[in-house]
Amino acid sequence: MIFANPSSPEKTSERLQPTGWLRYFSFSLDHKVIGLQYLICGFIFYLIGGSLASAIRVELTSPISDFMARDVYNQVLTLHGTIMIFLWIVPVVNGAFGNYLIPFYVGARDMAFPRLNAVAFWLIPPAGLMLISSYFITGAAESGWTAYPPLSITTPATGQIIWIISVLLLGGSSIFGGINFIATILKLRQPGLKLMQLPMYCWAMLGTSILVVLSTPVLAGTLILLSFDIVAHTGFFNPSMGGNVIVYQHLFWFYSHPAVYIMVLPAFGLVSEILPVHCRKPLFGYTTMVYSIMAIVGLGLVVWAHHMFTSGTPPWMRLFFTIATSFIAVPTGIKFFNWVATLWGGKISLNSAVLFSCGFIINFVLGGITGVALAQVPFDVHVHDTYFVVAHFHYIVYGGSVFVIFSSIYHWYPKFTGRMLNENIGRLHFVLTFIGFNLCFAPQHWLGLNGMPRRVAEYDPQFTFVNQLSSAGALLMALSTLPFLWNVINSAMNGPIAGDNPWRALTPEWLTSSPPPVENWEGKAPLVNEPYGYGRSTKNPKSPNDGERDTK
């Protein structure tokens, strides 16, 4: 049934939108504006979360809690984790780049549900502000980003409840976004564009959105039960009232293991977009990439209890979850080799985008290896809840997702703003970040293996020196943000004009002006059946690739 829907917001004509910079502060329905709103908002929260991280590292330069009181440390730690996950990585790798790119990739003028899209974004700033202000008003939650009971029902209630409400809002935002992406990718595709011709980021977002829709509601339900325990004094998760804390852990990880893929699958997709452009080669193994993503989605839903090996899980459960988790390394490994093969023999330009993508590949492999190690019960029972786990997941969420976010900013900034970033400052940013990151987190493997527990403000003095090393790395990371900030702000005003397609890329977002018009393309949307046809001559005379045969 096709009909013109009078109130349909798909008619995003220029006149319906505020123009100029003001539109970034308005309830805009334009997917590109919403995408950048996600990005900028996310980045502000990243700066806040980063300051909290610096505070944590300052505290940990000495074995006693001198910089912060212990309960303040717990609040800072909780805020840091929650902000970084729910307000920075998830909204940016999904919301920001997803909203900006997916309509281009499917050849549409906007997302399937533009109004829902705007609502999803505008849930985020209030949720974030509420979370942060809880620190100043009542004291923030103290039980970590996992909010495990009974800790979360015995620590001060107000902060915990505010935490729950913000996470519920953010979860709702994420679900609305997920529904929108699924509808856009499956239903809004241009006629003639087959699923297997979509740029890889679409597949990554499809997989991610399936995870979001299936797992986020479970977290929401769980947190509602938790809030009953706190407010109404029910005993779902309160052992002293006959409740069961393990059930909370199962439900929580049923969301939160998929959540790690919600943070990293879109990053996989973004890297798969960036590498081919800058190596002038087709993405290696497109089909295997698609199947790996779907395999990760499927497996990702059935590995959650590897976070619970020390929670008294029965042997059969340990066995099952060890095997299932180890299996995830297979599709992940396939993707890794495909990226390497894409780079192999390519005409690589070592610009900031590529550097950050390569940094991602290196860090991600390290994080993946420690992940497989952690999946083995005999090893995990020794290092669970130590700094080894902290090192593992930072290699993946920071070394993986955050590196990709930076890479993507370097890659798409010309499209966003119409101007180029300064490459030398970009490379400086990369070098500082890469060294700082590895200096900060590599020593934490050693700390964990030697028994330093995570989430505590004080530690055995024998760990002092290595902790100081780690803090030095954190300082470098914090400093590395400065050239980046200067670069993006200065280039927005003074950078050289980028032109429509500075990278000579083939994907549809580049086949329009920079920044693109409200309706994405003047005239008809281009039909791109071969988004990775680099190094092949194409029939299209306008293709930026024409006549190019620069691979061996």
Partner 1 sequence: MTTIAPVEQSPEKEVTQIEDHADFRLFGLAAFLVADGMTFAGFFAAYLTFKAVNPLLPDAIYELELPLPTLNTVLLLVSSATFHRAGQALRKDNAMLCQRWLLITAGLGLAFLASQMVEYFTLPFGLTDNLYASTFYALTGFHGLHVTLGALMILIVWWQSRSPGGRITSKNQFPLEAAELYWHFVDGIWVILFIILYLL
Q: Residues interacting with partner 1, by CB under 8 A? A: 1-8, 10-16, 27, 109-110, 112-113, 116, 175, 178-180, 182-183, 187-188, 213-218, 220-222, 224-225, 228, 232-236, 241-244, 247, 250-251, 254, 518-519
Residues 182-201, one symbol each (x = binds ligand HEM by CB under 6 A, - = not), give --------------------
Of residues 263-282, which lie at the interface with ligand HEM (CB under 6 A)? 263-264
**250 touches ligand HEM by CB under 6 A:** no
For residue 543, what is the DSSP state?
Answer: -
Residue 358 vs 366, nearer CB to Cu ion: 366
SS3 content of the chain, % helix, strand, coil (to 5): 70, 0, 30
**Strand pairing partners for 453?**
386
113 binds, among partner 1, ligand HEM, Cu ion, none (CB under 5 to 8 A by kind): partner 1
Burial of 108 (0-12, 13-18, 19+ CB in 10 A): buried
332 binds, among Cu ion, ligand HEM, partner 1, none (CB under 5 to 8 A by kind): ligand HEM
361-391 burial, b for 16+ CB within 10 Å, e for fewer? bebbbbbbebbbebbebebbeebbebbbbbb
CA 541 – CA 222 distance, rounded (Å): 56
Instruction: State the sign of the Cα–Cα–Cα–Cα dihedral 263, 278, 43, 25.
Output: negative
Binding-site size for ligand HEM (CB under 6 A) equals 23
Residue type, 335: K
CB of 476 to ligand HEM, least distance (A): 22
Residue 310 vs 529, nearer CB to ligand HEM: 310
Report the residue from 62, 65, 146, 464 that binds ligand HEM according to the rule CB under 6 A: 146
Footprint of Cu ion (CB under 5 A): 257
Cα 470 to its chain centre, rounded Å, is 23
CA 9 – CA 2 distance, rounded (Å): 15
**335 touches ligand HEM by CB under 6 A:** no
374 binds, among partner 1, Cu ion, ligand HEM, none (CB under 5 to 8 A by kind): ligand HEM
Residue 219 vs 264, nearer CB to ligand HEM: 264
Cα 368 to its chain centre, rounded Å, is 16
**Strand pairing partners for 497?**
419
**331 touches ligand HEM by CB under 6 A:** no
196 binds, among ligand HEM, Cu ion, partner 1, none (CB under 5 to 8 A by kind): none
Question: Tokens in use for 382?
Answer: 């020794």
**445 touches ligand HEM by CB under 6 A:** no
Report the residue from 80, 281, 307, 335 that binds ligand HEM according to the rule CB under 6 A: 307
Residue 228 vs 379, nearer CB to ligand HEM: 379
Burial of 200 (0-12, 13-18, 19+ CB in 10 A): buried
Of residues 145, 204, 198, 196, the one with CA closest to residue 178: 204
548 binds, among partner 1, ligand HEM, Cu ion, none (CB under 5 to 8 A by kind): none
Residue 278 vs 307, nearer CB to ligand HEM: 307
For residue 276, cis peptide bond before it (omega within 30 degrees of 0): no
CA 93 – CA 223 distance, rounded (Å): 24
Interacting residues toward ligand HEM by CB under 6 A: 146, 260, 263-264, 306-307, 325, 328-329, 332, 368, 371-372, 374-375, 380, 384, 389, 392-393, 396-397, 400
